[in-house]
Amino acid sequence: MEDGLYHLRIDTPVGPLQISGTTQFINAVSFTDEPAVDFPQAPALLLDCAQQLYEYFAGDRKIFELPIFQEGTEFQQTVWQQLTAIPFGHTISYQQLARRINNPKSIRAVGTTNGKNRLAIIVPCHRVIGSDGSLTGYAGGLWRKRWLLEHERTDLFTGLM
């Protein structure tokens, strides 16, 4: 199988997800409301990603073990790396995330970068909430963010680390 870009669509409790990637990396996991599309046979890596997502939704997986890659600046890569360090069932604020990257004045840039994350759930941007514990923006919609946090049994108002 050549190393082009492949897609796989799966049904989940929070609606359809489209997994995109190559034979070497998962590049995107995106919520979609588009009608189903028939994609050519997906490579093993995308099938493994789908299996790990099914395990996550079944409550059997807390950590993803997949090679991932998304294009971004050095700042964006740093923020996304920090997102993967937020433990399952915990939340942090945008302000805390900015502090973790040793750039406490970058709260807005951290929020913007969080919103550009293309690897929903796997790079858990849903675990970042407002300083007051409120749910703030999520590319998949706030109802999905709430569902994911409840699925992870997070106390939305006292879960700040």
Which pLDDT tens digit goes with each residue over 114-155? 999 999 999 999 999 998 888 988 888 999 999 999 999 744
Beta strands 17-21; 6-10: pairing state: antiparallel
Closest by CA position to 83, among listed 68, 100, 67, 66: 100
What's the rounded mean pLDDT across residues 64-74?
Answer: 97
Annotated catalytic residue: which of 17, 125, 129, 149?
125
Taking the C-alpha atoms of residue 5 and residue 28, their distance in angstroms, rounded to an integer, is 11
What does the pLDDT read at residue 1?
A: 43
At residue 159 the predicted structure's pLDDT band, cuts being 50, 70 and 90, is: very low
At residue 41 the predicted structure's pLDDT band, cuts being 50, 70 and 90, is: confident
Environment class of residue 120 by beta-carbon count within 10 Å: exposed (0-12), middle (13-18) or buried (19+)?
buried
Taking the C-alpha atoms of residue 156 and residue 142, their distance in angstroms, rounded to an integer, is 13
What does the pLDDT read at residue 34?
A: 76
125 is annotated as an active-site residue: yes
Environment class of residue 127 by beta-carbon count within 10 Å: exposed (0-12), middle (13-18) or buried (19+)?
buried
